[in-house]
Structure 1
Amino acid sequence: MRNRQDAESIASHFATYFEPDVSNSEESVKASFGIRHNVYAEELKLEPIRENKLETDDFDSHSIHCLIKHRLSSTFAGTVRIITSNSEKEKLPIEVFCKDSIEDEEFLPSNFERGDIVEISRLAVPEHFRRRQMDEFDGAAIGAINEHTYSETELRCFPFIAVGLYLSATAVLIEKNIHHCYVMVEPRLARSMRLVGLPFKQIGSVVDYHGQRAPFIINPMEVPANLRRGFGELLTAIRSDISLSGGAQIKAPSPQNSLRP
């Protein structure tokens, strides 16, 4: 009975305060670029400061931008993008910058159809949405979970925004029947997501790429069966929200010149 209550509380707690946005409207895409600039350029110093306060790159022209909106304030609380690849011209970042980091040749992107591979990147949560004690440790900006304070009875202390972003991206990928999703992340972030039940599989060693990161792959189709119960219900709720809004039918937006530096 307690486990059932915990499961329901995770989904209801998230739905009370947040909602997914994968509309790729001009407003949401611009907000995504702004959050990325705030986190990756201003806070983490990993990207140059730009006059327009928007962090963009060439991969955004074939990306789906997933955001989490804070219901009460109607402001965006986090973002992540899904980089798609429908042709050889639309390379993934892992192919351009880190191909040699993939040591398990079974999972080379070239082994799969271009339309069946994607990469998740640029997860970012603004500082003012990380004020809880649980989210103030190093790594929270890009979605890590503080393993030292995790326990089964403290599920409410998870960084719901980061988890919600990954589950929003997963929901889109399930609807699009995508089987191979690459991520270049710090191993501790992958461990954090495994605590939730996201089956991150490491396919290479740690390399220096915007910090110490390793290549991982995940099959979105396997996610529902692996998620801890509460987060499984959260994924179901997010999939329902996205489906009702028509978001799962969206395509990667065309380049938006008005948002370019």
Structure 2
Amino acid sequence: MPNLKNTNVLDVVTKLVGKNNKIGKLLSGYGKLREANYISSHFSSYLAPVVASTNSLRDEVFKIRHGVYCEELGFEPVKESGMELDDFDDFSVHCLIKHSRSSSFAGTVRIVRPTESHQQLPIEKYCLNSITDDQLNPSNFDRKDICEVSRLAVPKHFRRRQMDNHQGAAVGTINQDTYSETELRCFPFIAVGLYFAAAALALEEEIKHAYVMMEPRLARSMGFVGIKFQQIGPVVDYHGKRAPYYINQELLKTKLSPSFLKMLNDIRQSISEQK
């Protein structure tokens, strides 16, 4: 955590001098910069985005997905290969989050990005009727300008033991018994890091419109860090209670706090260097 003693002193001094004068603005700006550097550097100390650009890395993606979507959640049938794939993987870009100390992978996500007229997003194929905002229907946009954030998965051993059977835990927290107290402070960022990795991939590919089907409570939790998804339809029963959401570059960049914007930019730089 940040140095609370120093933070409190800074807050007190800022309150005393006020925020509307030069000194107050300087102190406030310094506090935001320090927080931004802390959040991003703390994430990068333990976790790193890895673009799945090889067959072996994509196999890691499919193994994680099988463990979560087939073995744990039962959304898909268990496969003898131990890997979960679908037709959308042929036109998807995948990313992993790597746990630096153990060199194991703490999660995966993909962006499905069609480039040809016959290629659909999962939301179009399975949940198109759930989209009630006609202006933001993906069919309104060129195929190359849309994507869907999909198949986000976090392995069970990276989550808190008491939440293993909790719906939605597959994109949440970790097993406290496995990692040090210092590292635990970073792991609530796994899901955030995966969404930022997906956002970074979309930004690098210059994609204008992104979609995702997710639980409203996950959308709300992402809102706490400034990832403001726009709900474009009602909640439907699709692997649990989920709703269609939309986001674009403007919504992402204007709503993020400086702290998490720096984290996004650092993740994007890391991803850009791998391409």
Q: Which bin holds the TM-score, normalised by the shorter protein?
A: 0.7 to 0.9
Match of 2:5 in 1: none
Shift of 1:225: 2.6
Match of 1:233 in 2: 262
Q: How does 1:3-152 map to 2 (within 5 A)?
A: 3-131=32-160, 138-143=167-172
Contact 1:36–1:122 under 8 Å retained in 2? yes
Structure with bigger RCO (C-alpha 8 Å, 6+ apart): 1
Q: Distance in 1 between matches of 2:274 and 2:206?
A: 18
Letter in 2 for 1:77: A
Q: Distance in 2 between matches of 1:168 and 1:212?
A: 25
Match of 2:243 in 1: 214
Letter in 2 for 1:31: E
Q: Distance in 2 between matches of 1:239 and 1:230?
A: 14
Q: Which moved more, 1:132-141 or 1:203-212?
A: 132-141
1:191-246: CA deviations, max 9, x gaps? 11111111200000011111111100010343223212221111111111112222
Q: Is 1:194 aligned with 2:223?
A: yes
Shift of 1:7: 2.1
Match of 2:196 in 1: 167
Q: Distance in 1 between matches of 2:123 and 2:203?
A: 21
Contact 1:81–1:120 under 8 Å retained in 2? yes
Q: Is 1:244 aligned with 2:273?
A: yes
Q: Give me the identity figure in percent.
A: 54
Q: Distance in 2 between matches of 1:230 and 1:136?
A: 32
1:76-111: CA deviations, max 9, x gaps? 110011001112211111111111100010011111
Q: Distance in 2 between matches of 1:23 and 1:41?
A: 21
Question: Which has the higher Rg, Structure 1 or Structure 2?
Answer: 2
Aligned residues: 237
Unmatched 5+ stretches in structure 2: 1-29, 174-183
Q: Distance in 1 between matches of 2:203 and 2:270?
A: 14
Unmatched 5+ stretches in structure 1: 145-154, 247-261
Letter in 2 for 1:231: F
Moved over 6 A (4+): 132-136
Letter in 2 for 1:130: R
Letter in 1 for 2:191: A
1:113-145: CA deviations, max 9, x gaps? 11001111110001111138899964231248x
TM-score normalized by the length of structure 2 = 0.80
Q: Distance in 2 between matches of 1:157 and 1:188?
A: 21
Give the RMSD, CA atoms, in angstroms.
2.2
Contact 1:123–1:143 under 8 Å retained in 2? no
Letter in 1 for 2:142: E
1:133-182: CA deviations, max 9, x gaps? 899964231248xxxxxxxxxx9466211111110111111122111101
Q: Which moved more, 1:117-126 or 1:39-48?
A: 39-48
